[in-house]
Structure formats: structure tokens, C-alpha cells
Structure 1
Amino acid sequence: MHSHSHQHGTDDRIGWAFFLNVTFTIIEFIGGWLTNSTAIMADAVHDLGDSLSIGFAWILSRFSNKAAPDKYSYGYRRLTLFGALVNGVVLVIGSIWVLFEAIPRLTNPEMPVVEGMLGLAILGVAVNGYAVFKLKAGETLNEKVLTWHLLEDVLGWVAVLIVSIVLLFVELPILDPLLSIGFTLFILFNVFRNLKSTLVLFLQAAPDEETQQNIKQTLIKLPEVNGVHHMHFWSLDGESHVLTAHLELSKNSSVNELVALKQTIAIELSEYHLSHTTIEFEFPKETCRDEHEKET
């Protein structure tokens, strides 16, 4: 009962943050157009990306406690990777659009409607700050990651606030496109970095090569094990890792010895916090049924 209410509280906080962010993103796009501010447009693109991240986190949170069906035997953890890809594509398209709008203004800057820009900045700091306050109460990894996303938004709006205050007293319209280009380059840097790691996980590469080698050495050092092959170490979502491996036994073992070996392996691998582990034993002189793919 406690677990259910805790999960329900998590869903409520993330769902609330999602609708708040989406609503405010729409206000930003309209406000950016009305105030003629590319800086606000750039921040709107950033907030759109955060809205997508929060949306997929919310979906994942709602699915996370459901039992994995036969069709999706590993559950729904990979939804986060799909969400990251969609998020990345949307942000790249949005960022390119902002750059096309902002770069020409460097040579012919236009003064934004500063009062409107200032009002939106104050609202942006307040809305995102309140969202951070709400999500900060959460204990899940999703909520902690999203809290940092929203903290970035608060800092972005603080920058817009500072620029709008400066523009109230000094007519320097070039500050607006400069700020928008700075925002956009920051977004693109993070997007490309995240897209690279997401694509690597989608291709089921090892999430960490050092950990992969450590796991292999852990298995090989067991006196009952003569060799390891067909070892596959990959990740569902960057956090939940999966391991499968064939272990060549050094001798023919009894059932009791195999049970004891399984328990030893479970203890040895416990430090790696694997979500799913499948180990297959092969007796001496036994031909591996996947021999055509066996590592040399």
C-alpha cells in the first residue's frame, strides 16, 4: 500500500510538471513572437525539449510497476531511449530554426519589446522555480534528473531577465540574438552528446567497457570455470543492465556442485547490480550450440 501511494505521488509530481511545462512552452513561443525576441524563442525550444523529456519520464513512471508482458519480455525500460531520440531530433530541428532567425540579426539587430521580455522572464523564473520545488520532494531517479533539467531552465530565464533589465536602460539590441545563439549552441552541444550515447545504447553496445572486462575477469577467475564466451553485456536504458554468457566448466560436475556454483556466481556478480542475468553452463568436450559465433 505504501509503495502504491509512493508511486502515485511520483506520477502526480511528474505529470503536474509536464502539463505546467507544456503550457508555459506554448506561452513562450507566443510571447517570443509578440516581443520579437529570439532569446525567448531559443528558450522556448529548450523548454519544448524538457517538456518531451518530462512527458516520456511520466509515461515510463506509469509503466514501471507493470509486469512485463510476453511480447515485451524486458518491460518498458527502453521507452526512455526512444524518448531521448525523439527529444534529440525535435531539439536539433528547433535549434536550427532559431539559428536561422538569430544569425541574420547580428548584422541588423532589432530591439525586442523589452517590457514584455522582462515580464516573461519573471514568469519563467517563477514557473520553473516552482516546478523545481515540487519535483525536489521526489526520491526517484526520474524526478532527480528532471529537477536538474528544470534548474537549467531557471538559470536560462535568469539570463533573459538580466539581459531584459540591461535593455531597459541601454539600447543594445544585439544582446538578444547573442543570447539566443548562446542558448542554442548550449542546447546543440548537449543534444549531440546525448544522441551519441543514446544511439550507442540502441545498438546494444556495452554501457561501460571497463565494467564488461571486470565482469569477464570475475567469471574467468572462478576455479570451476575454464573459459567464457558468448558474453553479451548491454543496457535496457542506460541504468538497467543485462548480461548473458556461456561458461565452459573445467570438469563434469554434479547437480549439487552446479547449484553451489550458481550461488557463487550470484554473489560475485551482485556488486554490478545487473537487472537480468542468464548464464549457460557447458561441460568439457561439449559442443556449443552457437559454435559458429563462438569467440576466439
Structure 2
Amino acid sequence: MHDHAPASGGIRSAGHRRLLTISLCLTASVMLVQVVGAIVTGSLALLADAAHMFTDASGLVIALIAAAVAARPADDRRTFGYRRAEVFGALINAVILIALASWVGVEAVGRLLNPGEVEVAGGLMLVVAVAGLLANAVSMWLLSRAQRESINVRGAYLEVMGDLIGSVTVIIAAIVIVTTGWMPADALASMAIAVMIIPRAIVLLREVFSVLAESAPKGTAVSEIRTHLLGYDGVVGVHDVHVWQLTRGAPVFTAHVTVDPALFADGRSAALLTEMQACLADHFDVEHSTFQIEPAEQSDCEPHHA
């Protein structure tokens, strides 16, 4: 007896593109405000945050392009379709993040070595940083649900999260400057933004490499799936099991299933195949599964793998 929990929804590319577009408009608008604010106030932290948002805007453009490409149907050359485009988009985002962090770090060190070189207008810096905080909060809210289903949207979500934290850091630096006049707070805030960028980029790179290496999706227990399949009447073995994902939220499963020869004689093999595919979709959220059903005597002659 198999009780299946409801399957979660699949990738909704059109909805993702709409959310990414809205987030892009918000990010680009605040980025322009921050660039102007950085020029007027002389704040490196605002400029760093603006550069971060520029990277996010670029990443969102890449994400939109990747999402559009991923929506293309499969063909004879790319039989799984174009969903992997999302992964390459996420890889580009991660590389941009690392380059940005390096640039911000170098500029911040230079400002700390020459603390009296620039006077920062803390009041205006604070106003611009608060505007950035509000815009980032809205973007995060828009992307929060979709990022669980798409590695592409996940990359954009992580970047917006970093922007929000960066805005908080700039706000703190602005308050310090306004209340104490201590200008190095601006450079320190810039360094903090650079330090926050690196872990996010590494997390995203790890997930990208996991997908490209065709590792089993995080949270997928292959042994549990095998045990579940062995619970069906007539199934005597499950081998050559492979689980990977085309992108976040698009797992693929293949396996050889050894069955009692009587199952073929009774004409029940087709029904078993349908039941197992439904099991994978409903219970393990794997919509694309392929089974090779073989009689026990044939399986005994084949080399088995995990």
C-alpha cells in the first residue's frame, strides 16, 4: 500500500520571468538613485552597493534570457530541452559576484589608507540607503517562493538578499557618520559588503557544480526510493538507479526493475510501470522517471550497478 503526499508544482517559467522582470525594474531604479547619491555624497559604500545592484541587474537580465531559453521545447538534438540554460545563467551570476567583491575590497582598502581624502555627506547617504532597503525587501518578497523551484531565480534571490544586507550596512555607516563624523565607517561598510558577497557566490557555485556533476538532488534519498519500489507486488529487485537534475526543481530518475516472470505472463507489467511512475511523481516529486522492467532470469545475466 502506498500513500502519496501531493506533489509540489513544477517550474513555471512564465511566472518566473514576470517576477524577474519586476525585480529588475526595482533593482535598476534603485541602482540609478544610488549612483547619483554616491556621486553627490562621496560615499564609497553607496557606490559599492550601487555596483552590487548593477551586478544584480545584469544577473537578472541573464536570468530572464536563461528562463526564456529554458522554456523552449525539446528537440531531436537537445532531448531534455533547454532547462540547463538556467544553470549556466546562475554560473555567470556567481562569477560576476566574485569579480565585484574583489573590486569593492580593493577600493575600500584604498579609502582606509587615505581616510581624509573624501568627506561623506552622511544625511543624504542615509536617505538613499533606506530607499534601497525598501526596494530590496519588496524584490525578496516577490522572489521568495519561486526561488525554491528554480536555480536561476535562486541566484537572483541570493543577490537581492545580499543587497538588502548591504543596504542595512550602509544605513549603519551613515548613522555613524551623521552622529560622530567618523568617515572611515563608509570604507568599513564597503569592505563588509565585499565580505558578504563571497559566501553567496560560493553557495551558488556549489549548487551549479552539483547540477553539472549530475549529483543526486539535495534531500533525495536513493535508498528510500529503492525500498519504496521494492514494496510493489512482483518486484524482486531494483538496480542501476540514477538520479540527477536538469536544474533546480527538475529531477530525473532511471532504474532497472527486476520482476517476477509471472507479472509478464499475467499482463500486469504495464500497470506496474504506471504505478511506479506515479509513485515517483507524487511521493518523491520526480516528474520525469524511466524504468526498464525485466524478468528475474534476464537480470541474473546482467552486471548490476548501484
1:81 CA drift (Å): 1.3
1:263 CA drift (Å): 3.0
Does 2:94 match 1:93?
Answer: no
Q: Secondary structure at the match of 2:267?
A: helix
Q: Which region of structure 1 is more displaced relative to structure 2, 22-31 or 209-218?
A: 22-31
1:207 CA drift (Å): 1.1
Instruction: Give the root-mean-square deviation of aligned CA atoms.
Output: 3.4
Q: Which residue of 1 aligns with 2:206?
A: 196
CA separation of 1:33 and 1:83: change in aligned 2, threshold 3 A? farther
1:19 CA drift (Å): 3.8
Paired letter, 2:179: F
Q: Which residue of 2 aligns with 1:263?
A: 274
Distance (whole Å) between structure 1 residues aligned to residue 127 and residue 229 of structure 2: 61
Distance (whole Å) between structure 2 residues aligned to residue 282 and residue 247 of structure 1: 6
Q: 2:191 aligns with which of 181, 189, 196?
A: 181
Does 2:287 match 1:275?
Answer: yes
CA contact (8 A) 1:45 1:91 kept: no
Does 2:25 match 1:15?
Answer: no
Q: Which region of structure 1 is more displaced relative to structure 2, 85-94 or 188-197?
A: 188-197
Q: 2:120 aligns with which of 104, 109, 113?
A: 113
Which of the pair has the greater relative contact order for Cα pairs under 8 Å at 6+ separation?
2
Q: Which region of structure 1 is more displaced relative to structure 2, 11-20 or 188-197?
A: 11-20
CA separation of 1:132 and 1:283: change in aligned 2, threshold 3 A? closer
Note the residue ranges of structure 2 that are not aligned, 5 or more in a row. Answer: 1-11
Superposed CA deviations along residues 220-239 of structure 1, whole A, max 9, x for unmatched, are: 33342232222110011121
Superposed CA deviations along residues 50-107 of structure 1, whole A, max 9, x for unmatched, are: 3244324433554565433333322232222111110111110110111112124334
Q: TM-score, normalised by structure 1?
A: 0.80
CA separation of 1:98 and 1:285: change in aligned 2, threshold 3 A? same
Q: Which region of structure 1 is more displaced relative to structure 2, 9-18 or 188-197?
A: 9-18
CA separation of 1:12 and 1:166: change in aligned 2, threshold 3 A? same
1:34 CA drift (Å): 5.9
Paired letter, 1:283: P
CA contact (8 A) 1:52 1:83 kept: no
Q: Secondary structure at the match of 1:70?
A: coil
CA separation of 1:152 and 1:189: change in aligned 2, threshold 3 A? closer
Distance (whole Å) between structure 2 residues aligned to residue 265 and residue 158 of structure 1: 50
Paired letter, 1:251: P
Superposed CA deviations along residues 143-176 of structure 1, whole A, max 9, x for unmatched, are: 9865675465344324323322331231211211
CA contact (8 A) 2:71 2:82 kept: no
Alignment of 1:98-247 (within 5 A): 98-110=104-116, 111-114=118-121, 115-125=123-133, 127-128=135-136, 131=139, 135=142, 140-141=146-147, 150=160, 152-208=162-218, 210-247=220-257
Distance (whole Å) between structure 2 residues aligned to residue 54 and residue 288 of structure 1: 52
CA contact (8 A) 2:105 2:194 kept: yes
CA contact (8 A) 1:128 1:153 kept: yes
Q: Which residue of 1 aligns with 2:86?
A: 80
Q: Which residue of 2 aligns with 1:3?
A: none
Distance (whole Å) between structure 1 residues aligned to residue 22 and residue 248 of structure 2: 25
Note the residue ranges of structure 1 that are not aligned, 5 or more in a row. Answer: 1-5
Q: Using the aligned pairs only, state the percent identity.
A: 26
Alignment length, in residue pairs?
287
Q: TM-score, normalised by structure 2?
A: 0.77
Q: Secondary structure at the match of 2:193?
A: helix
CA contact (8 A) 1:124 1:154 kept: yes
